């Protein structure tokens, strides 16, 4: 009679199987798909110029400053190019690697969140359905911010879920690693797309507090060292780009990009409320 498989080994096998499934879903056409989005071309060109210049602070698109998004995705793409060893000659698929990794992590995190809420099997089913979605499949194959940003959002949401359900406790103490992970995910989200990433867990926590009339489960989040680490990760670049651009980064990213998208549609993408619900 075969020996029973330990729970830890079983969990590891499930996660590995899920990662393989996500890769099998996202990899077809990953390298062969041409540029299909104008933003992908812009992100890729700006990252290529960063590789060429070695300037990891300012973001340039040809001869112009590209002060729309923070530095996060450009650092990730530059790191992918550097690790590939191909330098300026790196093909487009190398710049897409952060999106692929972000999409795979998002699939795993959907399984983790679903597992915490509904059990292992529903979590895995949800992750499988999510991996087969058109939107995540497209974002996994495009060198943009959204797949990487989604991974940071889901990472912070996964921690919130465990705290809310009381599953983040060992003995009488909350697992410190989860709190550090929460704030690092928040910091990464800020570096990738500014306040958009952190807004999701903030609104989630706020809604749960209002509905339940209790906030004690959030207390472990407010830990000094994880918060300081998040500030150490994010603040240096924002200070550096503010000084380098003499404040122009904030004008371009907040006034010209973020607030204008809140007030109206951009690049022909405007539509009345309810459009996506109908679609």
The closest of 47, 43, 64 to 55, measured between CA atoms, is: 47
CB count in 10 Å sphere of residue 6:
9
Q: pTM (2 decimals)? A: 0.89
Q: Which two tokens stand for residue 114?
A: 């679903």
47, with CB counted inside 10 A (0-12, 13-18, 19+), is buried
Q: What is the pLDDT of residue 1?
A: 47
What is the DSSP code string of the chain? -PPPPPHHHHHHHHHHHHHHHHHHHH-TTTTT-----HHHHHHHHHHHHHHHH--SS--EETTEE--SS-SHHHHHHHHHHHHHT-GGG--HHHHTHHHHHHHHHHHHHHHHHHHHHH-HHHHHHHHHHHHT-HHHHHHHTSSSSHHHHHHHHHHHHHHHHHHHTT-SEETTEE-HHHHHHHHHHHHHHHHHHTTHHHHHHHHHHHHHHHHHT--GGGGGG--HHHHHHHHHHHHHHHHHHHHHHTTHHHIIIIIIIIIHHHHS--TT----TTHHHH-
d(CA 262, CA 275): 16
CA Rg value for the chain? 20
Q: Pairing between strand 64-65 and 169-170?
A: unpaired
The answer to whether 237 and 191 are in contact (CB under 8 A) is yes
Q: What is the pLDDT of residue 5?
A: 56
The answer to whether 77 and 58 are in contact (CB under 8 A) is no
Each residue's pLDDT, cut to its tens digit, for the chain (279 residues) gives 455 556 678 888 999 999 999 999 999 999 999 998 899 999 999 999 999 999 999 999 988 888 888 999 999 999 999 999 998 899 999 999 999 999 999 999 999 999 999 999 999 999 999 999 999 999 999 999 999 999 999 999 999 999 999 876 655 456 889 999 999 999 999 999 999 999 999 999 999 999 999 999 999 999 999 999 999 999 999 999 999 998 889 888 876 555 555 555 555 566 777 776 776
d(CA 80, CA 57): 17
CB count in 10 Å sphere of residue 90:
21
Q: What is the pLDDT of residue 32?
A: 95
d(CA 33, CA 279): 26
Cα–Cα separations (whole angstroms), residue 246 to 53, 55, 86, 241, 243: 20, 17, 34, 8, 5
């Amino acid at each position: 009679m075969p020996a029973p498989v330990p729970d830890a080994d079983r969990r590891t096998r499930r996660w590995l199987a899920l990662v393989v499934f996500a890769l099998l879903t996202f990899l077809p056409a990953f390298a062969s798909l041409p540029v299909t989005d104008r933003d992908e071309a812009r992100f890729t060109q700006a990252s290529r110029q960063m590789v060429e210049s070695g300037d990891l602070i300012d973001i340039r698109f040809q001869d112009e400053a590209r002060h729309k998004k923070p530095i996060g995705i450009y650092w990730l793409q530059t790191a992918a190019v550097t690790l590939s060893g191909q330098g300026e000659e790196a093909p487009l698929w190398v710049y897409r690697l952060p999106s692929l990794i972000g999409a795979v992590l998002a699939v795993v995190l959907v399984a983790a969140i679903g597992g915490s809420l509904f059990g292992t099997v529903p979590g895995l089913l949800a992750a499988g359905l999510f991996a087969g979605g058109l939107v995540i499949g497209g974002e996994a194959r495009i060198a943009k911010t959204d797949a990487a940003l989604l991974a940071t959002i889901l990472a912070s949401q996964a921690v919130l879920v465990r705290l809310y359900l009381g599953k983040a406790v060992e003995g009488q103490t909350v697992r410190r690693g989860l709190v550090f992970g929460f704030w690092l995910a928040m910091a990464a989200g800020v570096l990738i797309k500014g306040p958009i990433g952190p807004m999701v867990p903030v609104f989630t926590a706020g809604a749960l507090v209002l509905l339940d009339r209790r906030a004690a489960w959030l207390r472990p989040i407010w830990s000094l060292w994880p918060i300081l680490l998040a500030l150490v990760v994010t603040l240096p670049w924002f200070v550096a780009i503010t000084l380098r651009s003499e404040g122009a980064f904030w004008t371009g990213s907040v006034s010209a990009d973020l607030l204008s998208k809140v007030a109206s549609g951009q690049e022909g993408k405007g539509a009345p409320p309810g459009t996506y619900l109908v679609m």
